[in-house]
Amino acid sequence: MTLILSEFPELASFEAKGLLPSAENEEALRQKLTTFRDTLKTRVDADVKETFKGAGAGGAGKGDGKDMNMNKDQLYNRLTALAGRQDQASRDEYEKLMALWLQPEQ
Percentage of the chain lying above the pLDDT 70 cut: 81
Q: Where are the domains of the chain?
A: 1-53, 59-106
> What does pTM read for this prediction?
0.47
pLDDT value at position 24? Answer: 92
Q: Chain centroid to CA 103: how far?
A: 22
Q: Does residue 46 register a pLDDT over 90? A: no
Q: Are 56 and 78 in contact (CB under 8 A)?
A: no
For residue 100, how many other CB atoms are within 10 A of its CB? 16
How high is the pLDDT of residue 81? 86
What is the rounded distance in angstroms from the CA atom of residue 45 to the CA atom of residue 51? 10
